Structure 1
Amino acid sequence: MEPHTDHLAKAAAGLRLLDDPDRHPWPIVAQAAAEVPRHVYRALLALKAYDELTPVDQVAMCSALAEGHVIGDHARSAPTARLYARLDHLADECAHFGAECDPSMSWRFDPKRGTQLDRAVDHLTVYAALDPVWQAQVIDRLTPPRELSTRLMRALRYVAPPTPQPRPALDEVLTEAVEHMGRDEVQGTATATATAQDLVGRLSRMPQEWQLHVMRRLDLGATPLDAISSAAMARNLVHHRLGLDGWQAPTAALPPTS
């Protein structure tokens, strides 16, 4: 059996666990979450396909590796609602890269993924053209009220957090910001929270490929705190190689974090 075939078979088996996690013990699910992206990554390496990925897809693969690593670290602890919520996106990303390796196998992932990347480019172009005060307003509008306290409650799996108010869509928030800025309305850092202003700074210091990754996550419904913090965590983890043999950092997307 070719090395990539073995890795893809193991990835497909792990994805079957991630597709229906409630039917399996949490430690097994968490272990699968850690192993599936590693098998997919190694298959890409074996096929010499990793360097053929766009920088944005290299970032997505790195993010999946880091996400799986974090979930796997919680294999021995009680699972939380937030960990379960992260499984769907992880499985979708890994299935996409599995299809990149061997499209003849049965992989289940969102067929609109390519459109998501196109939208991320459009959203980042609009966001980057805003003044920093309006960028902070965008981040503020996308942040649910009491997000920090809600995240603490989610850490307890059997405590249901308050039902959040519907979050406005990224398209809507960006369009409003452009219109307000065009009318020279005074708004921005005076009303944006300190957290929003900090997140704007953190996002601006990321390479463009990681900024696009964040925009895609925001468009999919992630909060700014989750999307930006997860990207920063992923950059840090993959920079330290996660103990992977044959690790290759993204060719253009992952400069040293020091």
Structure 2
Amino acid sequence: MTNKPNTTLDRLRTALDTLAKWPEVSWDEVSRVAGEAVPLVWDALKDHGVWYQLEPADRAALYWALSTGQSVQTHRPSPVADGRPVLDELSRECAYFAVHCEGRHECWAAAEGRYEEKEGAAQLLDWYQGYTPAWRPEVFRILETEHQTLRHREDGPPVLSHVLSRVHDRICDRDTPRPDEGHYTQTALRLASLPEGWQIETMRRMAAGTLPGHAVDGAFDAISALPRHGVELSPMPPP
């Protein structure tokens, strides 16, 4: 057996160290490394024989991270306010998948809590899908409108699980959802059209604070980018 997997993960650690140093490191260097980091961990997953053992939601997350890394690589320079969150997201995703290769969480501290997020997202999706199509857009309406009104308060933006609970209470009280002019209904329909793994990953990102419309758009953008990485979209996008 070759030592390629260890070499690949060593290169990944070096890449993540570089991402962590921005803005001390130039954006040209960081953007280049951001485009290389996810392919490195993808190679490591394949080298360790675990890529095809991953759950669909995890494969969707890796594909999404590939798209994010490529976007960082091709859009420069980046405003400081926008650069740090996306670099942290990339580092966390790479660390999460590196754990799948090594099984050692202590070596990839950035991945802490990431597994629980995925498990929670699957439960949130089940909860959301338990509502009728008439109520699903209402979940997104509340999330988006309250995100705008509450983001400057001390308690922060709305939490997806709390919104789902409130919708549940309204259904039990025989309330009716507010009329939707189409935006939130369209978001719900687009989410439902995604493969289940992509739905779980999209829900995870919503739970982390991404607006529903932006999260769903991000999923479709990531899928559209897959052919650049040699992933076919026919007859259906993976996973």
TM-score (norm 2): 0.86
- Residue 218 of structure 2 is aligned to residue 255 of structure 1: no
Partner of 1:176: 166
Q: Are the equivalent residues in 2 in contact too, given 1:144–1:167 (CA < 8 A)? A: no
Equivalent position amino acid for 2:162 in 1:
E
Aligned residue for 1:92, secondary structure, equals: helix
Which consecutive aligned stretches of 4+ in structure 1 deviate over 4 angstroms post-superposition?
Answer: 144-147, 247-250
Q: Are the equivalent residues in 1 in contact too, given 2:147–2:158 (CA < 8 A)? A: no
Q: Are the equivalent residues in 2 in contact too, given 1:7–1:40 (CA < 8 A)? A: yes
Partner of 1:131: 132
Instruction: Encode CA deviations 1:175-217: one digit per residue, 9 max, x unaligned.
Output: 11111122221223x1x45322221111010111111101111
Query: 5+ unaligned residues in a row in structure 2: which ranges?
Result: none
Aligned residue for 1:130, secondary structure, equals: coil
- Residue 208 of structure 2 is aligned to residue 220 of structure 1: yes
> For 2:37 and 2:18, how far apart are their aligned partners in 1?
10
Partner of 1:38: 39
Q: Are the equivalent residues in 2 in contact too, given 1:120–1:215 (CA < 8 A)? A: yes
- How big is the shift at 1:2? 2.3
Aligned alpha-carbon RMSD (Å): 2.5
- How big is the shift at 1:127? 0.5
Aligned residue for 1:133, secondary structure, equals: coil
> For 2:204 and 2:117, how far apart are their aligned partners in 1?
6
Aligned residue for 2:110, secondary structure, equals: coil
Aligned residues: 231
> For 1:141 and 1:13, how far apart are their aligned partners in 2?
42
Instruction: Encode CA deviations 1:206-248: one digit per residue, 9 max, x unaligned.
Output: 111111101111111111122111111111111x142xxxx56
TM-score (norm 1): 0.80
Partner of 1:140: 141
> For 1:164 and 1:234, how far apart are their aligned partners in 2?
30
> For 1:78 and 1:19, how far apart are their aligned partners in 2?
15
Query: 5+ unaligned residues in a row in structure 1: which ranges?
Result: 148-162
Equivalent position amino acid for 1:25 in 2:
S
Partner of 1:204: 192
- How big is the shift at 1:249? 6.8
Partner of 2:82: 82
Could you say if the C-alpha distance between residues 78 and 217 of structure 1 is closer, same or farther in structure 2, counting changes exceeding 3 Å? closer
Equivalent position amino acid for 1:231 in 2:
A
- How big is the shift at 1:118? 1.9
Q: Bigger shift: 42-51 or 30-39?
A: 42-51
Could you say if the C-alpha distance between residues 74 and 102 of structure 1 is closer, same or farther in structure 2, counting changes exceeding 3 Å? same
> For 1:146 and 1:94, how far apart are their aligned partners in 2?
28
